[in-house]
Structure 1
Amino acid sequence: MISTQTIKGSISELGAITKVELCVMDLGGEVVASTSELGFSDISIITSFAASPVDSQVIGDIHLFKVMDEGDPLYILLSKGDNEQAYMVGKIAVSQLQALVLAYKERFDRNNFFQNLLLDNMLMIDVYNRARKLKIEVTAPRTIILVETGRTKDNGARELLTSMFSPTSGDYVTAVDENSIIIVKSLGKNESYDDINQVATTIVDMMSTEALLNVRVAYGTIVEEIRDLSKSFKEAKMALEVGRIFNAECRANGYNTLGIGRLIYQLPESLCRMFIDEIFEDKEIPSNLDEETLNTIAKFFENNLNVSETSRQLFVHRNTLVYRIEKLEKSCGLDVRKFDDALTFKIALMVLNYMKYLKERE
Structure 2
Amino acid sequence: MSNRLFQGLVHQMRDTIDATVGVVDDTATIIACSDLTKVGTTNEFVSLDLSDVHDIFIRDGYTYKPFGSHAKPEYAVFVEGMDDTAAKYANILAISLFNIKQYYDEKYDRNNFIKNVVLDNVLPGDIVIKARELHFNAEVSRVVLLIRIVSANDVSAYDVIQNLFPDKNKDFVFTISESDIVLVKEIKGAVDTKDLEKLARSIADTLSSEFYTRVNVGIGTIVTGVKDLSRSFKEAQMALEVGKVFDTDKAIVSYENLGIARLIYHLPTTLCETFLHEVFKRGSI
User: What TM-score bracket applies, with the shorter chain setting the length?
Assistant: 0.5 to 0.7
Would you say 1:167 and 2:170 are equivalent positions? Answer: no
Determine the structure 1 residue equivalent to 2:6.
Answer: none
Partner deviation per Cα, 1:211-237 (whole Å, 9 max, x = no partner): 322111001111001000001011110
Determine the structure 1 residue equivalent to 2:21.
Answer: none
Q: Mapping of 1:200-219 within 5 angstroms?
A: 200-219=200-219
Runs of at least 4 residues off by over 6 Å:
24-27
Partner deviation per Cα, 1:134-172 (whole Å, 9 max, x = no partner): 2321001101000011479x8711101111112346100
Decide whether aligned partners of structure 1 residues 108 and 158 sit closer, same or farther in structure 2, where only a CA change above 3 A counts.
farther
Offset, 1:192: 2.0
SS of aligned partner of 1:281: helix
Gaps of at least 5 residues in structure 2 are 3-23, 31-37, 57-63, 67-72
Offset, 1:197: 0.8
- 8 Å CA contact 1:220–1:232 kept in 2: the answer is yes
Determine the structure 1 residue equivalent to 2:88.
Answer: 47
Partner deviation per Cα, 1:243-293 (whole Å, 9 max, x = no partner): 111001110000000011101100112222222233333759xxxxxxxxx
Determine the structure 2 residue equivalent to 1:196.
Answer: 196
Gaps of at least 5 residues in structure 1 are 52-65, 76-97, 285-332, 334-362
Partner deviation per Cα, 1:9-58 (whole Å, 9 max, x = no partner): 4639xx9x967557487796544479xxx99764641323565xxxxxxx
Whole-Å separation in 1 of the counterparts to 2:88 and 2:151: 43
Instruction: Letter of the 1:275 partner, please give it.
Output: F
Offset, 1:204: 1.1
Would you say 1:123 and 2:123 are equivalent positions? Answer: yes
Q: Mapping of 1:121-160 within 5 angstroms?
A: 121-150=121-150, 156-160=156-160
Instruction: Letter of the 1:205 partner, please give it.
Output: D
Q: Mapping of 1:310-325 within 5 angstroms?
A: none
Whole-Å separation in 2 of the counterparts to 1:135 and 1:155: 34
- 8 Å CA contact 2:139–2:225 kept in 1: the answer is yes
Instruction: Letter of the 1:163 partner, please give it.
Output: N
TM-score by length of 1: 0.54
Offset, 1:108: 8.0
Decide whether aligned partners of structure 1 residues 198 and 33 sit closer, same or farther in structure 2, where only a CA change above 3 A counts.
closer
Instruction: Letter of the 1:45 partner, please give it.
Output: A
Offset, 1:199: 0.8
Determine the structure 1 residue equivalent to 2:177.
Answer: 177
Decide whether aligned partners of structure 1 residues 160 and 49 sit closer, same or farther in structure 2, where only a CA change above 3 A counts.
closer
- 8 Å CA contact 2:80–2:86 kept in 1: the answer is no
Once the two structures are overlaid, the 10-residue window that deviates more, 25-34 or 125-134, is 25-34
Partner deviation per Cα, 1:55-113 (whole Å, 9 max, x = no partner): xxxxxxxxxxx78x9xx4349xxxxxxxxxxxxxxxxxxxxxx9xx69x9379833332
Determine the structure 2 residue equivalent to 1:348.
Answer: none
- 8 Å CA contact 1:141–1:224 kept in 2: the answer is yes
- 8 Å CA contact 1:143–1:185 kept in 2: the answer is yes
Would you say 1:239 and 2:239 are equivalent positions? Answer: yes
Whole-Å separation in 1 of the counterparts to 2:257 and 2:278: 29
Determine the structure 2 residue equivalent to 1:186.
Answer: 186
Identity of aligned residues (%): 31
TM-score by length of 2: 0.67
Whole-Å separation in 2 of the counterparts to 1:10 and 1:132: 36
Whole-Å separation in 2 of the counterparts to 1:135 and 1:191: 25
Instruction: Letter of the 1:8 partner, please give it.
Output: D
Would you say 1:7 and 2:48 are equivalent positions? Answer: no
Once the two structures are overlaid, the 10-residue window that deviates more, 179-188 or 133-142, is 133-142
Instruction: Letter of the 1:73 partner, please give it.
Output: L
**Rg larger in structure:** 1
